[in-house]
Structure 1
C-alpha cells in the first residue's frame, strides 16, 4: 500500500499553475522515460536498477552502502534557474537492511531541510524549493555520517519528478506547413515543422475531415491508416502544451488515396549490427530499407521470437538479457500495406558477465572445541554466495589471525593457559565481498600445558607368527588428555605407527629368525610413554615345495598331499593351496557354512560408553583422516591387502565406530537445542533494537 508523505498542495493552487518535467534522463526512476538503467545518478554507494520491488512502472533504483566511510550516497545533478520555484517529488522506502536513511545535503536551493526516510512502505516525499544557483543537486543517504557504515544498508527510490512552477496561459504557434506523403490506397504519412511555445509543446492532435484521429505523441509526423482507395481526405492539426493551451488550426493537407493496393514488400536489411553490449542489454542498428511506397516500421526478433517494433527508426534497444549468454537477433521491414521484407542477417551477441556485488551469508554457528591450555579448534557451517565463497578470515579478540584456506575449520595455537578469548569469522568471495561478522565463540583455555606422558604398555604380545610375519597386540595406555598413537620398534628400530589401534601386523620377516619387539604410546602434545615390555619371537621354517602322493603308510608324515582334492596337512590344514599354510585352516576359494561363530579373546567395545572413555574430537578425527586416509583404530586398505582381517576383531572395531557415532549424534543434538535457544534470544533482542531505532528516528541526526 502506498502512503502520501505530504499534501500535494501545488496541484490544487490553480488551473493555470503548470509544470514541465525536467527529470528527463532515461533511467529506473523516470516516469515517462523509464529504462533498466541508473543514468544520471552518481555517488559513493552502489546504485543499481531493481525490478522486484517497484512503486511505478517496471523498475526502481536500489542505493546500497559499500561499507566504506563515504560509500553511502547517491546524487542527481540538474540545471535550474536561480529564483525559480521547483516542485520535487520522490517515492522512497527503506531497504530490507537499513539504518536511518534520509534525503540530506541538497545544494542549489535556499529552503531545503533534511528529510528522514522512516518507513518500509513506499511513500512519496514532496519538496517545494526555491533555486539560489544555476545548478542543483539532490542526494539520498543510506546512513548518517556519524554512524559506522555497514555494507548492504540501503534505500529504494522510484518515480522522481522535478518541475518548475510556472503560470502558463500562452498557446503554442500554429502549424503552417502540414504536408502528406507516401500516400497509398489505404494510408498516408503526415509531417510538419515543430511549433513554438513560451514553455514547451508536449503533443500534436491530428484531424481527418474535421474529426480527431489521434495524438502524435510529441512527434512531428503521423501515419494515417485504414483509408479507402481513390478517396479524398482533408487533414489538419493543432499543437498542445502541458497547461492545455492549444494552437490555432493548421493549414489543410488534401490527399487522394490511390486505387491499386500495394503488394510489394520493402528491401531486406543486410547490415544489422549490435553495439554497447552489457550484461543485460545491447543496441541494434541498421540502414533504412527501401519500398515502392514507403517503409513504416521495423520488427525485431530475439532468437526467432518477436520482441517489439522500432517505431519506424533504424535502431532498437534490447534489455532484460541474462549475463554471459549468447543471443541471435534479426529484423524485418514493413510498409503501410502490411507487406514485410525478407529476414535480415543475424547479429550474434554474447552479453558480458555481471559484476558480483553480493556478499556471502554471515556465519551463525561458529563454535570452539578441543580446547587445551594453548590451542583450540574453531569450526562452522559453510556460508552461501550467489557466485561462490572462496575463503574465511578468522579474528581473535577482533584482530585477524589468518585465513582458513576455504575450509570450515581453523586450528588456533599459541594461546596462553587459563585465558579467555573471543573468536569471530567472516566469509569472502572472489570479488572481495565480505559477509557480516559471525557470532562470537568465547572460550577459556585450560590452566596449564599437557606435560604428562601416557602410561607404558606392559602386556605387548605376539601371535599368529609365520615364516615371514607376526601380529602384535596390547592393552590401551592411559593419559590425562588422551593417547593419539602407538609407535612400534623391531630390534630397537621404529617400523611404523599403529594409527591409534592397539594392534600391529609385522611383515617381511626372514624365516627361522629371532626378533625382539617393543612399543611406546604418544599423546597429542608429543609426550611419549616409557618403552614397553619386550616380546621375542622366532619365525617358522619356510614352506617347502612339492609333496608325496597319499598312501596309508605316509598318511601321518608331516606333509601329506591328497592329489585328488589338493589337500595339505601338517598340524595346520590347507585346501586348494600347494604350500604348507601358516594358519590352522587356509582355503584358496569360497566357503559355504550354515553358521560361523567367532569366540573373541579381547573386550567387546562397550567401554566406549564408560565415563572414563576419551571420545576423540571431530577435529582430531578429521586430522587423522587427512594424514592417514582411514579412520582411527581401523586398518588401512594396504594393511588389509597385505594381512587380511580377523572377522571378530573387525566386527568389534566397527561396533566401536558405531558407538562413537552415537555419542557424536547425542552431543550434536544438545548443541542444536542450545543454538535454537540462543536464536530465539537473538530474535527477541533484534525486535527490541528495531523498536529503539524507530524511537530514535524522531530525533534530528547529524549527517
Structure 2
C-alpha cells in the first residue's frame, strides 16, 4: 500500500511540476516562443497592434505597437495566475521609430501583481526585460506604453515586442545542449539545405532557431532540417543553429556551417523599368520614381540617365532625387536596371522635365570695406567684404574709373594689372546674383601707383625729317626711341625752343611759321621718370613765299573774291555751310569726302584684351546686359549716339575691343568643339569594341 501511495505521490508531483513549469503566455501569436504564428491573439489595447516581420528577435514574427492620436498608445496582456504565486516574466522589446523625441516608451501600470516597477524601454536594439512578481489577482495584466501621457499618443511612435514567456518561479532554467554536426548540402546559386543532430534538454526541446551570419532567418518546431532560400550567387555565408525549450531557455550556438553559393550562368537582362515619372520639380531639382524591373535571378540596382548620361545609381531603391539642375531648362530622364551578372535592361520610358524659373527681383547688398594693398607701379590688390542676397551671390564685377575690368565668380579679391605708374585710379565693386540683379556699388578705393626709380634716359630719336612744307607749316616725322622702362612721349624743338609734345606719336605738324624763313627742328624723347634723351638729328626747313590771298574782314564775304589757294589758315573756328561751330575748330553741315582721315588717339589701343589678366565677360553676362540695356557693354546706345554723336577714334577702339573679345570667344568655342570631338571619338571606339565583344559572345553561343 505504501508503494502505491508513493507512486501516486510521485505522479502527482510530476503533474504539478509540469503544470507549474508551463509557459502561461499560451496564445498562438507573433511573440510566442513555442507557438509562434502571424497573429496578435491575447494582446489588446488602444494602440494599433499588428504582427510584423521587421527584424524579429526570434522566429519570423514580432508584435508591433504603433500610437494613434487621442490616447491610443498602450497594449495589454492578461494571464491566468494563482494568487500568492511568484512568476518570472521575460519580454524582449525594442524601440521602433519615435516621432516624439524623447517619447520614453515603458512597461508601466501593471495590475494584479506586486514587485513590479515602471521600466523604460530605452534601446533600439532587442533587449530582454525580466520581471519577478507575485500575483495578487487570478487575472494579472501586463501593460506596455508607447510613451508618457504627453508624448506617447503622438501618431507614429512604435514599440516592438517578441519572445514573451510567463513562468512560475523555480521553473525550468536549464537550457538545451548546443545542436551539433551542422552541415549544408545541395547548395545552389540562391539556396542551401541545413541538417544537424538534435539537442537534448532536461524537460524537452521545443524548437530550433537558424541564424545566417548571426541573424535569425527562421525557426522550426523540432525539425532538424531547414531549407535556406533567397541567397546571392557566389557569396559566402556562415550558418549556426540554437535550440530552445518550453521555458524559453536558449542553448549555445552550434558549430558554423560555411557555405559559398554557386555562380549562375546568367545572360538574361532585367526587363525595362516602367512608369518613370517626375514630381516635386523646382528650379534646380526634381524627384524621379518608377516601377521595378523583373529578372530571372534578381535585379541588383538601377542607373539614372540625364539626357543619356549617367548621373547616379541605386542599389534597389525605386526613386532618385536629382539636384544641380539649371532653372528654366528642359531635361530628358531615363532609367535602366542591372542584375548581378552585369546584364543591363532596355531603357525605361522618358520623363521630360522643365525646371521652374526663380522669381528673383531682389538685388544683392553692396559689397563693403573695399580696400587696396600691395600697390606697385603697375598693379594693386583689391579685397572686400561679401554681399548678401535673398537667393545667393554668384559673382562680382570690378570697375576701374567706372569701367568694368574683370569679374570673379565669388572670390572676394582681385589683382589689378596693367596700370600706369604715378597715376591715380578709383576702384569700385558690384555684386550680382543668378537672376542678373546687380547691387549698388561699393565704397570707392582710390589708388595712386608708385613711381619707378628710373635714372636711364631714352635713346635719341632718329631719322628726323620734314615734309609737306608750306609758307607757314611743315610736317615732322622720326624713328622711335627705346627705353629700359618705356618712352612716354616726345618734345619738338624749333630753333632749340619747345613748340609742342606728343604722348607717343612719331609725327608732329608745325604751324604758325613765317613765310620764306629757315628753321632748325630737333626732337627729344622722355620716359615716365622724366628722363630726357639726347636731341635727334636736325631737320632744316625753309618755308615758301606767299601763294594765297590773305583772309581779312574787309574781303571775307566779297562776291568778287574766290578763295582759291594752296593753303587756307584760320586762327579761330571754321564753319562750312553753318555759322554754329558748337565750339569745334571745324564744323560742316553736309557730307565730307576724303581720300584718308587720320585720328590720333590719346587713349590706349584695346590690345589689353589679349593680356592674361583681362576679365573677359562671360556670354551669360553679355546676354544679361543686352536683355537689360538693349546694347553691348561699353558701347553707346542709339539714344546716346542720337544725342551726342560719336568720336571716330574712340568708337573704332571700342569696336576693335568687341572684335578682339569675339576672337577670344571663338577660340574658347573651338577648344570646346575639339574636346567634344575627341570625346565622341573615344565613345565611338568604345561602341565599336562593345559591338565586337557582342559579336564574339554571340559567336561562342
Question: Based on CA coordinates, which of the two structures has the bigger radius of gyration?
Answer: 2
Q: What is the TM-score when the length of structure 1 is the normalising length?
A: 0.25
Q: What is the TM-score when the length of structure 2 is the normalising length?
A: 0.25
